Amino acid sequence: MAITLASVDALAASITDGDKLAIPKTAAGVSMAVTRELVRRGVRDIHLVGVPTSGLQADVLIGAGCVAVIETSAVTLGEFGTGPRFAAAVRVGTVQVLDATCPAIYAALQAGAKGIPFIPLRGLIGTDVLANRDDWKVIGNPFAQDDPIVLLAAIRPDVALFHAAKADRHGNVYIGRERELMMMAQAARRTVVTVEEIVDEDLMADDSSAAATIASLYVDQIAVAPRGAWPLAFLDRYALDATALGEYAKLARTDDGFQTFLDAWLGVEHGQAA
């Protein structure tokens, strides 16, 4: 079955107000290309799930007013520190933060992928992370005496969005070692992916590539976006544009600075109607 490629904008258009949107950690392949179109379209009230953390992508979406809730274990720009728009929004309360811990995000997604309502996880007891989560509960292990354990509600994102190296003409997407992307796709109701390139080979035909591939069954839309993770690094293909990220970190400290960044990023001259 051959796929029809979509445009980057079509992927963004498929993500609508109020969606629960799962996005991967910075190193796993972030679709900044679609993020830009989401901001341009002015999507609202997104419930972001950072799997298990996020960085520039979450920060930009929060700064642009697209996000109502963020569920994540961290929002970090690496050596440039906490996402500044995330920090500002949490401080004034314009975004609700559901602080988590990395394995809890993974486990809850795993429950989502399995179609079960909750999953137990060790750790967490006695933390303020747990104390601030109404959707997590402590129960007694039913198979042992006096063994409290945390239950996490499953996460079923409406959409999973990420950037990958390549897809084939059947719509299979190569993810290499980043197999947590598979879990995201399995847990989510829809998965939309930007790729660096489309290849002619059938990725499912050979064992060595098939084991590192998400079958097209899980993938709803694919768009080609060369350098689609820029300014973030993407695997071995391109390095972090540290100048661009540093500039962002500086500008995003203030509302005006962030607006300057947005105007340039969206290609809109200052003062011009969008």
Partner 1 sequence: MNASAPVATPTQFSTAELLISVVARLLQGCRHVAVGESSPIPGAGAFLASHRSNGTMRVSALGSRTHNIMVNGSVELFDLAAQGRIDAFFLGGGQIDGQGNINLVGPGHYPATDVRWPGSFGSSYLYFLVPRVILFREEHTRRVMVPKVDFVSAPGVSAPNVHRVGGPYALLTGLGLFMFDKARQRFRLESVHPGHTLEEIQDQTGFEFDVAPTFGQTAVPDVQSLALIRSEIRREIAEIYPKFAAGLGN
Q: In this structure, is the dihedral angle defined by the CA atoms of residues 141, 146, 150 and 151, taken in order, positive or negative?
A: positive
**Residue 273 CB, nearest approach to partner 1 (Å):** 34
In this chain, which stretch among 33-41, 73-81, 192-200, 201-209 interacts with partner 1, using CB under 8 A? 73-81
Task: Please identify which residue in 18, 115, 117, 123 interacts with partner 1, judged by CB under 8 A.
Answer: 123
Instruction: Please tell me whether residue 228 binds partner 1 under the rule CB under 8 A.
Output: no
Task: Please identify which residue in 125, 217, 264, 266 interacts with partner 1, judged by CB under 8 A.
Answer: 125
Instruction: Please tell me whether residue 142 binds partner 1 under the rule CB under 8 A.
Output: no
Task: Please identify which residue in 149, 153, 210, 244 interacts with partner 1, judged by CB under 8 A.
Answer: 149
**Residue 146 CB, nearest approach to partner 1 (Å):** 5
In this chain, which stretch among 180-188, 199-207, 247-255, 263-271 interacts with partner 1, using CB under 8 A? 180-188
In this chain, which stretch among 3-11, 37-45, 101-109, 185-193 interacts with partner 1, using CB under 8 A? 101-109
In this chain, which stretch among 20-28, 41-49, 220-228, 258-266 interacts with partner 1, using CB under 8 A? 20-28
Q: Please classify residue 203 by burial: count the beta carbons closer than 10 Å to its beta carbon, then call 0-12 exposed, 13-18 middle and 19+ buried.
A: buried
Instruction: Please tell me whether residue 129 binds partner 1 under the rule CB under 8 A.
Output: yes
Task: Please identify which residue in 9, 99, 247, 263 interacts with partner 1, judged by CB under 8 A.
Answer: 99
Site string for partner 1, 21-60 (x = CB under 8 A): ----x-xx-----------------------xx-------
Three state DSSP letters for 160-224? EEEEEEEEECCCCEECCCCCHHHHHHHHCCEEEEEEEEEECCCCCCCHHHHCCEECHHHCCEEEE
Residues that bind partner 1 (CB under 8 A): 25, 27-28, 52-53, 72-76, 78-79, 81-83, 86-87, 90-93, 97, 99-104, 106, 121-130, 132, 146-149, 177-181, 183
